[in-house]
Structure 1
Amino acid sequence: MARAFLIVMDSFGIGGAPDAAEYYNGEHSDDGAATFQHIAEACAQGRCDTKDRSGPLRVPNLKKMGIGHAAHQATGEWPDGFSEETDLIGRACAATEVSKGKDTISGHWEIGGVPVPFDWGYLPKTIPTLPDDVRDGMIAAANLPGILADRHAEGLGVIEEFGQEHIESGKPIVYTSADSVIQIAAHEKHFGLERLYDLCEATRKLADKYKIGRVIARPFLGENPETFERTGNRRDYSVPPPEPTVLDRLEGAGHAVRAIGKVADIFAHRGVTDTRKVSGHPALMEETLKALDELPDGGFAFINFVDFDQLYGHRRNPAGYAAALEWFDARLPEILGGLRPDDLLIITADHGNDPTWTGTDHTRERVPVLMTGAETAPGLAVMRETFADIGETIASHLRIPNGTHGQPIGRV
């Protein structure tokens, strides 16, 4: 019986969003942002040469799956080092987001078949950024001496800046971004992991009336800026999707749904029968390979490879992003080799995060849809007008009724 595997290369956009000019990083619009293409360009120009990698971007397996074709369809231009590939092993296309926003939750929900039908609430680029009642409610709920940062910030940088003061004062680090999110960073030992989770649960309730999509616990360890590092105990407190996603529909039909990485949190744990909460690309890859071996007939595995986004996109590190892409590509044959004859694999992204762009926020972009397996004919598919077509392709493959927001992508 058929199985389905969906991998989100978090933030691996391919440019070309028709409404990119309406989205901003600071004062600069996202018009022209193209994560994949600009990484390939930077590599070709030698701007990504480090002790770990050098030269043009080398992703031969993604290339055979059609990443160059998807990027060309999205923008009308071939990325540096990519051209018409005739020896394809997959079917490729680009997809356009219809949800308002360029955040993780909107992208994933739409991939799951449910575009976001409303405007999220966003926090202003002021210091402080939190509404008074949210700040005061957090302090009262956790008996805090106060909070630190209270502004828009990049996650790793704000921990480096305020981590020492946090340890000394007991005040958690609270920050936001262009996403609809409140993030709370605290030391696992000095502040306490369970105390951080309790604080996030209280904040989730306070944030509801402002339509904030997620409250995220960001635990870390270390004793100084040189040793601070976030741990794998991140937890997202999301509002639930407004209607059943493909995960809900599969679970309701009796299918196994395994969520790997942060996926279960994004969907408020709805429609998930098995959660594998791991972080870091090596651990995520191992869980993916386990799923290929263990997932029962009719099962669906939904995996998010987050490091592309949080370690390299937000930190505007094209060399690191390029190295991560090459690492993923080198491991891709293990995934392809684990597929059974009736399995379908789809590789996509949830938004862009162009590491060559101004600012530190996500970028509004189209995403690739790379499909292989289950008698999928190699070639270029028609460009999709919504990410929801991805979820409906999964639904069709696993033979459950389709939802109302998308159509299955033709695979022949």
Structure 2
Amino acid sequence: MRYEKIANSFYRENRKKFAEKILPNSVAIFSTNDPLPTNADGTFGFVQNSTFFYLTGIDQEDGYLIIDKRKTPHREILFVRETDEKIRVWEGEMLSKDESREISGIENVEWSSEFWKIAPANLNDCLNIYTHLDLSQGKGTTFRSREKYLTTLLKRKFRTKNFINSSEIIDNLRVIKHPLEINQIKKAVEITKLGFERAAKFLKAGIYEFELEAEISHEFYKRRSRNHAFQPIMASGKNACYLHYITNNEICKNGDMILMDFGAEYGNYKADMTRVLPIMGKFTERQTEVYQSILDVMKSIKRQMVVGNTIDNLKKETQNLIGKELVKLGICSASELLKDPKTILKYFPHGVSHHLGLDVHDVGDRKRPLETGMLLTLEPGIYINEENLGIRLENDILITKNGNEDLMKDIPLEIVEIENLMK
């Protein structure tokens, strides 16, 4: 396997915790993702459903999980794709039943082709059916996931049952990271660091933004990452003022900076980092002023990322600090901000933090008090369109009992560190 697997005791414990939270006389059903089509008979690379992976460790398509709590203790059935002759010829061997048992810790493993023969026997005499609907998935698109399709079919077949979305229970479990998960994320962070250092050494005027992306990708694949955690942003010059600029097709020019927002994936867990580099190897006086302003805000907010605080509070405090920095930088006056506080949003239009884990924007409520084991990003920024200048800095922060741990503390961030790295 491309990455080191997590022990199946982790998945067994996740299923046990979930089963304890659902109502008696209930059955929960989960499914894998489908490969998404491109055009003709092409597909994108397969990405597993994060919740299915969290409960099973299975990392291939066409699978189901049943957690049956009609009786105590609960029962579990895992369904995996069988390797028939066509699959063997075109794709190779899928997981065997024994391999699936070893990965998931589930003894009762069946072929997915048997799902609709076996599932009704578990569902006919239960009161509640839990399915998993990720309400944030596919927003603004016509996309319908396998989960949504499965839920629709089940509701048609079992009209008298009480259907419940399992996402609240699952999200409350996933938001607190297990030490084994943190270890996977630390591996993703280390790979991200190596990709960044390679790109920084390669950066010079005259190259295209996508060439930096290619350097990072090379390092990722070489280090057992299957892909970028998300579409990388390589935004030079004015492009850094566009928050999700992903075309990466401009030439890097002397005198400009480049904002690089990217992260590695490792074993389905994600890293998320942003750094800003001077293309000529040294920041100008103005770039130094703005960079240091954001770095100071970042350090101040990091000290506030502690148990009991909330992401919403962190954002409000970030806006207050950035407002003061805007005045210091001569971008606007204190009276302007007092007259219209929303002026800050022109220069800092996004949030300062989000949860991180199996998804880049992982599960977690912005209003929920921070707890030990939560893992979040920290990403303040200032975007000055009038100067074609955008700076955002981002690290991944683990909330601990006594404060927090910056998982990216060893990745160059200070101005002198950045300039020394590029020599």
Q: Which of the five TM-score ranges fits, normalised by the shorter chain?
A: under 0.3
Q: Could you say which structure has the greater relative contact order, defined with CA pairs below 8 angstroms and 6 or more residues apart? A: 1
TM-score by length of 2: 0.24
CA radius of gyration, larger in: 2
TM-score by length of 1: 0.24
